[in-house]
C-alpha cells in the first residue's frame, strides 16, 4: 500500500515536471539569443534584457517598461525582458553591467542619479566604462516655493540666498549625489555661492518633499516638476524657474538662462550596454532604439507621462556622458563627497 502510494506520488511528480517543461518559460528567451547574431538587421531584436538598477515602480523602472512595451508592440524587438537589480543608488546594477563584458543582450537603463551614486558610493565600476547606446528622455528641474513664500522671482531668491546661504534651506527628493542635490549645488556654483555653504535637506523622494513644500517648511525646493504639476496648476506651489534649455510646457516660469543664470540642468535617462560590445551589435541596438523612437506609440507615451524627448545616440551620447560625469565629479569633490 505504501509503495503504491509512493509510486503514485512519483508518477504525479514526473507528470508535473513534464508538463512544466512543456510550458517552458525560461527556454525561449535565453535560447534564441545566440541565434540573433545570424539574423538580418531587418528582423526584430531578440533576447534583449533591460536591467533596471532600481526597485519596481520607480522612474527608471517605468521608463524601461514603457520602452519594452513599445518595442514589443511595434515589433522592434520581441521577448524583451525587464528585470530589477536594485541597490546602493544603482551602483549594484552598474557593477553587474560593467562585469558582463561583451554581453550584447544585456542593457541597463540609467540616468543622472547613477552618475552621482557612482561617486558617493565609491563604486569601482564607472559609467564611462559602459558602451553608450542612447539617451532617451530628460526632465528639467524646477525651483519651487510655497505660494506664501516671499520670493516672487528667481532673482529675488538668488539675492537673498547670496546674502546668507546657510539660512535658507533647500529641499530635494534625493540623498546627496542624487539629481535633486546636484541641481541646487550646480545652481549655487553658477551664482557664485560655495556649495559647501548650501543648506541642503534631503527628503525621501517626491512624496516626502511635497508636504515640506506645502507646509512651507523649506526655503525652496529643487526637484523635477513632473510630480507636482497638479499642485502647480492649482497654485499651491509656485515655480520660480526651470532649468532646461527651453521653457517647460504648462508651467509659467522662465528658464534659468532667461533669468541670466548660466545653468542648463536636466535629469536625464538613457540606455547603455556593457563594455566590450562589438560595433556591429552596438549598431544593431542603436538602430532598434532609433526605430522605437520614431514610432507614434513612443511619442504618445512621452506625451502621456510628460517626458521630454531628448534622443541622442552613440558617440554623441558618449560625449554627453563623459561631460556629465566630469561635472558631477567636480561638484561632489568640492563637497567632499566624492
Task: Write down the least CB distance from residue 17 to another protein, Å.
Answer: 7
Among 36, 97, 106, 113, binds another protein (CB under 8 A): 113
Rounded to 5 degrees, φ, ψ at 235 are 90, 0
User: Distance from CA of residue 271 to its chain's centroid?
Assistant: 9
Query: How would DSSP label each residue in 105-169?
Result: TEEEEEEHHHHHHHHHTT-SS-GGGSEEEEEEEEEEEEEEEETT-S--SHHHHHHHHHH-GGGSE
Q: Which is nearer to another protein, 130 or 231 (CB)?
A: 231
Q: Which is nearer to another protein, 259 or 295 (CB)?
A: 295
Task: Look up residue 307 and give its three cell numbers.
Answer: 517626458
Task: Write down the least CB distance from residue 214 to another protein, Å.
Answer: 5
Task: Write down the least CB distance from residue 279 to another protein, Å.
Answer: 29
Which helix (H) or strand (E) segment is 28 a member of?
Answer: helix 26-31
What is d(CA 52, CA 83) in angstroms, rounded to the nearest whole number?
A: 6
Among 48, 71, 158, 218, binds another protein (CB under 8 A): 218
Q: Which is nearer to another protein, 175 or 284 (CB)?
A: 175
Q: Which is nearer to another protein, 193 or 212 (CB)?
A: 212
Q: Which is nearer to another protein, 238 or 284 (CB)?
A: 238
Query: How would DSSP label each residue in 239-262?
Result: EEEE-SSSPPTT----BTTTTT--
Residues 29-88 that bind another protein (CB under 8 A): 30-31, 54-62, 65, 69, 81, 83-88
Neighbours of 205 (CB within 10 A): 17
Among 224, 244, 270, 274, binds another protein (CB under 8 A): 224
The answer to whether residues 221 and 144 touch, using CB atoms and an 8 Å cutoff, is: yes
> By rule CB under 8 A, what count of residues binds another protein?
90
Residues 227-256 that bind another protein (CB under 8 A): 228-231, 233-234, 236
Buried b (16+ CB within 10 A) or exposed e, 26-48: eeebeeebeebeeeeeeebbbbb
Per-residue x/- marks for another protein, 117-156, CB under 8 A?
---xxxx---------------------------------
Which helix (H) or strand (E) segment is 18 a member of?
Answer: helix 2-22
The answer to whether residues 200 and 185 touch, using CB atoms and an 8 Å cutoff, is: yes
Among 15, 20, 260, 326, binds another protein (CB under 8 A): 20
Which of the stretches 35-43, 114-122, 186-194, 285-293 binds another protein when contact is defined by CB under 8 A? 114-122
Q: Which is nearer to another protein, 164 or 258 (CB)?
A: 164
* Strand ranges, E, within the chain: 45-46, 49-52, 77-78, 81-84, 106-111, 131-146, 169-172, 199-202, 220-224, 237-242, 266-273, 308-313
What is d(CA 73, CA 76) in angstroms, rounded to the nearest whole number?
A: 8
Residues 89-108 that bind another protein (CB under 8 A): 89-92, 95
Q: Which is nearer to another protein, 152 or 233 (CB)?
A: 233
297 binds another protein (CB under 8 A): no
Q: Which is nearer to another protein, 56 or 102 (CB)?
A: 56
58 sits in the region (left: phi over 0; alpha: psi -120 to 50; else beta) called beta
Task: Write down the least CB distance from residue 323 to another protein, Å.
Answer: 19
Per-residue x/- marks for another protein, 161-180, CB under 8 A?
-----xx-x--xxxxxxxxx
Task: Write down the least CB distance from residue 150 to another protein, Å.
Answer: 16
What is d(CA 71, CA 67) in angstroms, rounded to the nearest whole number?
A: 6
Q: Which is nearer to another protein, 42 or 163 (CB)?
A: 163
Amino acid at each position: 500500500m505504501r509503495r503504491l502510494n509512493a509510486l503514485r506520488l512519483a508518477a504525479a511528480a514526473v507528470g508535473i515536471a513534464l508538463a512544466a517543461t512543456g510550458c517552458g518559460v525560461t527556454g525561449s528567451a535565453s535560447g534564441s539569443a545566440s541565434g540573433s547574431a545570424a539574423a538580418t538587421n531587418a528582423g526584430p531584436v531578440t533576447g534583449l534584457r533591460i536591467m533596471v538598477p532600481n526597485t519596481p515602480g520607480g522612474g527608471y523602472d517605468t521608463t524601461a517598461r514603457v520602452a519594452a512595451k513599445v518595442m514589443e508592440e511595434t515589433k522592434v524587438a520581441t521577448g524583451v525582458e525587464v528585470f530589477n537589480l536594485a541597490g546602493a543608488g544603482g551602483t549594484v546594477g552598474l557593477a553587474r553591467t560593467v562585469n558582463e563584458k561583451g554581453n550584447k543582450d544585456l542593457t541597463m537603463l540609467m540616468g543622472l542619479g547613477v552618475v552621482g551614486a557612482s561617486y558617493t558610493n565609491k563604486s569601482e565600476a564607472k559609467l564611462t566604462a559602459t558602451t553608450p547606446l542612447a539617451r532617451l528622455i530628460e526632465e528639467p528641474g524646477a525651483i519651487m516655493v510655497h505660494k506664501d513664500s516671499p520670493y516672487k522671482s528667481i532673482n529675488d531668491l538668488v539675492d537673498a540666498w547670496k546674502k546668507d546661504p546657510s539660512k535658507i534651506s533647500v529641499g530635494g527628493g534625493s540623498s546627496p549625489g542624487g539629481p535633486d542635490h546636484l541641481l541646487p549645488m550646480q545652481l549655487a556654483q553658477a551664482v557664485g555661492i560655495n556649495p559647501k555653504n548650501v543648506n541642503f535637506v534631503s527628503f525621501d523622494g517626491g512624496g516626502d518633499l511635497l508636504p515640506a513644500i506645502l507646509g512651507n517648511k523649506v526655503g525652496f525646493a529643487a526637484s523635477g516638476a513632473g510630480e507636482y504639476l497638479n499642485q502647480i496648476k492649482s497654485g499651491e506651489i509656485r515655480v520660480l524657474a526651470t532649468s532646461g534649455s527651453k521653457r517647460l510646457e504648462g508651467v509659467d516660469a522662465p528658464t534659468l538662462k532667461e533669468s541670466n543664470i548660466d545653468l542648463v540642468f536636466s535629469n536625464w535617462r538613457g540606455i547603455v550596454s556593457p563594455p566590450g560590445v562589438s560595433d556591429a551589435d552596438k549598431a544593431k541596438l542603436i538602430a532598434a532604439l532609433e526605430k522605437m523612437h520614431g514610432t507614434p506609440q513612443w511619442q504618445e507615451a512621452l506625451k502621456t507621462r510628460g517626458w521630454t524627448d531628448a534622443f541622442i545616440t552613440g558617440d554623441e551620447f558618449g560625449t554627453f556622458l563623459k561631460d556629465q560625469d566630469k561635472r558631477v565629479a567636480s561638484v561632489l569633490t568640492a563637497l567632499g563627497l566624492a
